[in-house]
Amino acid sequence: MRRETMLTPDCSAVRGRRLLVALSGGADSVALLAMLSRAREEYGLTLFAAHLDHGIRPESADDADFCRELCAKLGVPFLCKRVDVPAEAARRHVGLETLAREMRYEWLRQCKAETRSDYIALAHHMDDQAETVLMHLARGAGPEGIGGMRTLSGDLYRPLLSFRKSELVEYLKANGLQWREDFTNLIDDNPRNVLRAHVIPGLEKSYPQFVRAAARYAHAAQIESDCLADLTREYLEKHRFGGDRLSWLELDDLPHRAVLRRAIRAACPEETDWDRLNALEALCHAPRGRTDVGKRYFAERAGRRLYFVPKRPAAIPPATLCLNGETACPALCRIAATPCAPVPIRDDPWRQVLNAAALAGAVVRTREDGDRIRPLGGGDKLLSDYFIDKKIDRPLRDLTPLVAVGGRVHWVCGLGISQEASVKPGDTAVRLECESDTLLYNGGKHHAE
């Protein structure tokens, strides 16, 4: 046994931190608490322990008493709570093990907040890691799943991943420490217990170092996954835009497909299974098309973008246009209006000077059926045809701010104005400046100085 290492696990990553130890009373968590107790002074740790009595086994109250006595012996503040998981599972009609885990983590995070701890310390070890890798492999997980558990993951800290279960038991025996046995862990009524009782022992007959090899594999997968995560993050920073109402990926330069697939998953507002991810990737290479994403969104390829579009977008109420001040149309845009000389603006499509008389009764809104516009120098046409002429992607058209009177559109913000609203010398004019809430086209937004 690597006794000196076992006596003091490397806690450099949490030096000086407050740790809440999840203490079940089993061999793993007792070893964890004992080791961290010995490491307190060296690493400047402040320890607490929390135990949740699930009320599943008759002897669960004895487990709680054992944990309380152990913490008193080690000088670690102890928090305990009893819940009736079987009764709650029956009431909710959910699985016993699933609910027990959910309630345990809920309790641990409550204790973490109460003790102002930085991390929750968990006793997962190398054998647990091998089981996790196999479970994820059986589900067809990618590199992130195959990477298994990490030493630090959010507010969870697992310092025992480099140790075998047998080493922890040997450590306890060598130091005269007792623990409680949960015999439900020996019943092969769930996937993890089946792996623990049958699959891994069978593999170790042919590959005696299987558990350590699986742990190495998980660590290598984590390293490669982190590299892909960094590349994906860089790609998304430059290529993901939009918000809740409409979001998209710019596809002008496609990355390696491993990065692209991760970017799609990150950008997609709904969970994607394997088949949907394949369909979305294929859509990125198609000139156009659309596919269902889930219950709430579909994806559409248009122009150089892959859009994620809500199936039932919330309506945007129109806002009456103020001709001297600001008009806010929530979730769409803001338009600032200032009286001015009748001199057209030609170098910024998000700023326009319009005829104030033509804007009497105007509102700011999105498009409606039957909208028409008479562009400068052109004939009267449907707004839908105008969008096609301007090569505006279909998903963008529903979020394009318009200034309209009735069904007549006088300014398609960022694109152009109508002949009726153009100014001539001597007209009473107003300058409108639009800032869209969504990056659209022509630079996306008016850039206010």
CA-CA distances (angstroms) from residue 196 to 95, 96, 165, 288? Answer: 21, 20, 11, 49
**449 confidence band (pLDDT: 50, 70, 90):** very low
How far apart CA 383 and CA 280 sit, in angstroms, is 30
Percent of the residues in the chain that have a pLDDT greater than 70, as a whole number: 94
Q: Is residue 237 part of a domain?
A: no
Percent of the residues in the chain that have a pLDDT greater than 90, as a whole number: 78
User: For the whole model, what pTM was predicted?
Assistant: 0.81
For 65-113, the pLDDT digits (tens) are: 999 999 999 999 999 999 888 888 888 888 888 888 899 999 999 999 9
**Quick one: average pLDDT of 168-192?**
84
Q: What is the per-residue pLDDT for 153?
A: 95
Nearest of 149, 152, 165 to residue 28 by alpha carbon: 165
CA-CA distances (angstroms) from residue 134 to 65, 145, 195, 222, 315? Answer: 35, 10, 8, 15, 47
Q: What is the per-residue pLDDT for 333?
A: 93
**445 confidence band (pLDDT: 50, 70, 90):** very low
Tell me: do 414 and 347 sit in the same domain. yes
Q: What is the per-residue pLDDT for 446?
A: 36
Tell me: do 54 and 135 sit in the same domain. yes
CA-CA distances (angstroms) from residue 57 to 43, 64, 83, 197, 414? Answer: 37, 12, 12, 21, 67
Nearest of 9, 333, 361, 31 to residue 166 by alpha carbon: 31
Q: What is the per-residue pLDDT for 55?
A: 80
Strands (E), 288-438: 289-292, 297-302, 305-310, 319-320, 325-329, 333-340, 351-355, 363-365, 372-373, 381-382, 402-405, 408-412, 416-417, 429-436
How many structural domains comprise the chain? 3
Q: What is the per-residue pLDDT for 5?
A: 42
pLDDT at 184 over 90: no
- Asked whether 321 and 335 are in contact (CB, 8 A), the reply is yes
**186 confidence band (pLDDT: 50, 70, 90):** low
DSSP 357-371: GGGTT-EEE---TT-
Question: Domain range holding 49?
Answer: 3-222
Decide which of 260, 288, 310 is a domain's last residue: 310
Range name among 109-113, 159-163, 321-325, 440-444 with the lowest pLDDT average: 440-444
pLDDT at 118 over 60: yes
φ/ψ region of 155 (left if φ > 0, alpha if ψ in -120 to 50, else beta) reads alpha
Q: What is the per-residue pLDDT for 441?
A: 67
Enclosing H/E stretch for 49: strand 46-53
Task: Write down the mean pLDDT value for the chain.
Answer: 91
Tell me: do 169 and 249 sit in the same domain. no
- Asked whether 21 and 76 are in contact (CB, 8 A), the reply is yes
Tell me: do 61 and 99 sit in the same domain. yes
Q: What is the per-residue pLDDT for 372?
A: 97
Tell me: do 283 and 206 sit in the same domain. no
